[in-house]
Structure 1
């Protein structure tokens, strides 16, 4: 199963922006995530249509499982 770590930030415009990391190092530790997100905010490196990231909203690990079903189509 593919995993993705999603870091959620609030932007200057008040919208939510998500930074995704595929196949994160396991185990995912909350303290490491907080530290990484603080570093991202301090560096002010992400800028988009809604402005810079200004605060942390949260983080989540998303797992996706895809099962192909053969329906006999050629």
Structure 2
């Protein structure tokens, strides 16, 4: 199973931008995530179509399970 931390932000042009982090640290707290997202906004290094990030939208951890199917037996 792999995990991805998705950080979603509102942009100045009214759209949403997602930053994905593969294999995030286990046991992240909401406070740690909010602090990181606020830092990302204040540093103003990410833009969407030339528009900066202006607000936190949401954060979520996505779990993905992949099961390979052996097709050589068919």
TM-score by length of 2: 0.91
Q: Conserved in 1, the CA contact under 8 Å of 2:10 and 2:54?
A: yes
Q: Deviations over 1:4-45 (max 9, x none)?
A: 000000011111100010000011210000000111111111
In 1: Cα distance, 2:57 partner to 2:39 partner:
15
In 1: Cα distance, 2:6 partner to 2:45 partner:
17
Aligned length: 74
Which structure features the higher share of helix residues?
Answer: 2
In 2: Cα distance, 1:47 partner to 1:67 partner:
36
Q: Conserved in 2, the CA contact under 8 Å of 1:4 and 1:63?
A: yes
**1:62 corresponds to 2:62:** yes
Structure 1: state its 5+ residue gaps: none
Q: Conserved in 1, the CA contact under 8 Å of 2:2 and 2:63?
A: yes
Q: Which runs of 4+ in 1 moved over 6 A?
A: none
Change in 2 beyond 3 A, CA 1:73/1:13? farther
**What aligned pairs does 1:1-74 form with structure 2 within 5 A after superposition?**
1-49=1-49, 51-72=51-72
TM-score by length of 1: 0.91
User: What SS class does the counterpart of residue 14 from structure 1 fall into?
Assistant: coil
